[in-house]
Amino acid sequence: MSAALPGTVEADVAVVGAGPAGLAAAVASAEAGAAVVVVDAGPQPGGQFWRHRPESVEPDPDGKGHHGWRTYRDLRARFDAARHSGRITYVPGQQVWMAEKVHAGFVVRTTPTVTAGPTSGTADGGSTVVARRLVLCPGGYDRQLPVPGWDLPGVMAAGGIQAFIKGNGGLPGKRFVIAGTGPFLLPVAAGIAEAGGQVLAVLESSSPKAWLPHLRAAAGVPEKALEGVEYGAVFARHRIPYRIRTIVTEVLGTDCASGVRTAKVDAEGRVRPGTERVYRDVDVVGFGWGFTPQMELPLSLGVETRMDADGSLVGVVTERQESSIPGLFLAGEVTGVGGATLAVLEGLTAGTAAAAAPAPAAVVPGLRAMARHRRFAEAMHRAHPVPAAWQDWLAPQTTVCRCEEVTAGEITAARDDLGAHHARTLKSFTRAGMGWCQGRVCGFAAACLGAGPGAAPSIESLSGAAKRPLAAPVGIGELAALKNTDD
Amino acid sequence: MSANTSGNNPSGTPGEVTVSFDGRPITTSAGQSVGSALVTNGITAWRDTRKHARPRGLFCGIGVCFDCLVTVDGAPNQRACLVEVHEGMEIKGSSEPNVPPLAEPEGGRK
Does B4 or B102 have the greater pLDDT score? B102
- Taking the Cβ of residue A48 and every Cβ of chain B, the question of whether any pair is shorter than 8 Å is answered with yes
Nearest CA to A140 out of A466, A468, A477 is that of: A466
Burial-class residue B60 by CB neighbours within 10 Å (0-12, 13-18, 19+). buried
Q: Give the separation between CA A239 and CA A106, rounded to whole angstroms.
A: 52
- The residues that bridge with B79 in the sheet, in sequence order, are B69
pLDDT recorded at residue B108 = 34
Q: Give the separation between CA B12 and CA B30, rounded to whole angstroms.
A: 13
Chain A residue with the nearest C-alpha to that of B105: A469
| Total beta-carbon pairs less than 8 A apart between chain A and chain B | 190
Quick check: A153 and B55 CB within 8 A? yes
Q: Kindly provide the ipTM of the predicted complex, given to two decimals.
A: 0.94
pLDDT recorded at residue A442 = 97
Residues of A (136-175) whose Cβ lies below 8 Å from B: 141-142, 151-157, 159-161, 163-164, 167-170, 172-173
pLDDT recorded at residue A12 = 97
pLDDT recorded at residue A470 = 85
> Could you tell me the CA-to-CA distances from A150 to A239, A254, B86 in Å, in that order?
26, 11, 32
pLDDT recorded at residue A6 = 58
Q: pLDDT tens-digit profile of A320-334?
A: 999 999 999 999 999
- Taking the Cβ of residue B9 and every Cβ of chain A, the question of whether any pair is shorter than 8 Å is answered with no
A141 contacts on B by Cβ (under 8 Å): 60, 62, 64
pLDDT recorded at residue A487 = 41
Q: Where are the beta strands (DSSP E) in A137-258?
A: 140-142, 155-157, 175-181, 198-204, 242-244, 246-252
Quick check: A57 and B67 CB within 8 A? no
Quick check: A436 and B98 CB within 8 A? yes
Residues of A (379-418) whose Cβ lies below 8 Å from B: 402-405
Q: Work out the end-to-end distance of chain A between its first and last CA atoms, rounded to an integer number of angstroms.
A: 30
pLDDT recorded at residue A225 = 86
Residue B106 above 60 pLDDT? no
Confidence of residue B14 (pLDDT cuts 50, 70, 90): confident
Read off the amino acid at residue A463: S
- The segments of chain A whose pLDDT lies below 50 read 1-4, 357, 360, 485-487
Q: Give the separation between CA A345 and CA A330, rounded to whole angstroms.
A: 12
For A160, which of B62, B73, B100 is closest by C-beta distance?
Answer: B62
Q: What is the pTM of this model?
A: 0.93
Mutate to test the interface with A, among B28, B36, B59 (most CBs of A within 10 A): B59
Chain B residue with the nearest C-alpha to that of A405: B51
| Phi, psi at A259, each rounded to 5° | 180, 180
Chain B residue with the nearest C-alpha to that of A144: B60
Q: pLDDT tens-digit profile of A179-238?
A: 999 999 999 999 999 999 999 999 999 998 999 899 899 899 998 888 888 899 999 999
Q: Are A319 and A364 in contact (CB under 8 A)?
A: yes
- Taking the Cβ of residue B99 and every Cβ of chain A, the question of whether any pair is shorter than 8 Å is answered with no
Q: How crowded is residue B3: how many other Cβ atoms within 10 Å of its Cβ? A: 11
Q: Are A249 and A271 in contact (CB under 8 A)?
A: yes
Q: Name the minimum distance, in Å, from the CA of B19 to any CA of chain A.
A: 11
H or E stretch at A190: helix A185-194
Quick check: B1 and A53 CB within 8 A? no
Quick check: B83 and A116 CB within 8 A? yes
